[in-house]
Amino acid sequence: MYLKKMVKMDKSEDIKKIQEQADSHARSLVAIVRAVERKYGEEGKNAVKEAWLEEVYYRPWKKIGESVKKNDVQTLAKLIEEGCFGTHEWERVVDEPNRVAYKFTKCRWAEIFKELGATDIGKWFCDSDPVYVKAFNPNIKFKRTKTLMDGCEYCDHVFYI
């Protein structure tokens, strides 16, 4: 699986490549959303967001949740860490069977969307957290009180049953 191979990479050039891909994705998303917003206003922008959350987060994570041997909190945490490799820095501050909490101190998404003056769109990545959690397993709950995207010093994420 591609994500498992990616997690094993530890070279700075590999991380740089991942960050460049994230930056390109962010620039493309901003360009598309701003074009829709100019033509169709806030309603058009919201329609893009809803479709984006559904197609990029809900549907894929629902399939993942149905395909893994265990769709528990620990499996979700492992998958999140694999997906954040190269774009985030974090620490697991709670690691219990039914509860995992993180302190994210770096987020490439927050950095690039701030640079682009588009944190309103970047916030969509933050908004995706409860979407993919529910899709993966509706019994897992998610709580967050701080985000780097909003200018906080870190993001706090708690996944629990």
pLDDT digits (tens, 9 = 90+) for 39-84: 999 999 999 999 999 999 999 999 999 999 999 999 999 999 999 9
User: Tell me, what's the pLDDT at 12?
Assistant: 81
User: Tell me, what's the pLDDT at 1?
Assistant: 35
**What is the enclosing helix (H) or strand (E) of 157?**
strand 155-160
User: Tell me, what's the pLDDT at 109?
Assistant: 97
Q: Is residue 121 part of a domain?
A: yes
Q: Among candidates 19, 20, 21, 37, which has minimal Cα distance to 118? A: 37
User: In terms of residue numbers, what domain contains 30?
Assistant: 12-160
The list of the chain residues with pLDDT below 50 reads 1-9
Q: Is residue 139 part of a domain?
A: yes
Total count of domains within the chain: 1
Place of tokens 């998303």: 29
Q: Is residue 4 part of a domain?
A: no
pTM value? 0.88
Q: Is residue 5 part of a domain?
A: no
Tell me whether residue 42 is exposed, middle or buried, using C-beta atoms within 10 angstroms of its C-beta: 0 to 12, 13 to 18, 19 or more.
exposed
Q: Is residue 1 part of a domain?
A: no
User: Tell me, what's the pLDDT at 10?
Assistant: 52
Alpha-carbon gap, residue 101 to 94, rounded angstroms: 5
Q: Within a 10 A sphere around the Cβ of 159, how many other Cβ atoms? A: 25
User: Tell me, what's the pLDDT at 11?
Assistant: 66
Tell me the CATH number at 151. Answer: 3.30.1380
Long-range CB contacts (within 8 A, 24+) of 103-106: 103/154, 103/155, 103/156, 104/148, 104/154, 104/155, 104/156, 104/157, 105/148, 105/153, 105/154, 106/148
User: Tell me, what's the pLDDT at 14?
Assistant: 87
Q: Is residue 71 part of a domain?
A: yes
Long-range CB contacts (within 8 A, 24+) of 63-67: 64/136, 65/135, 65/136, 65/137
| Strand ranges across the sheet with 155-160 | 88-96, 99-107, 155-160, 141-143
Q: Is residue 96 part of a domain?
A: yes
User: Tell me, what's the pLDDT at 143?
Assistant: 98
Could you tell me if 26 and 115 are in contact, meaning their C-beta atoms sit under 8 angstroms apart?
A: no
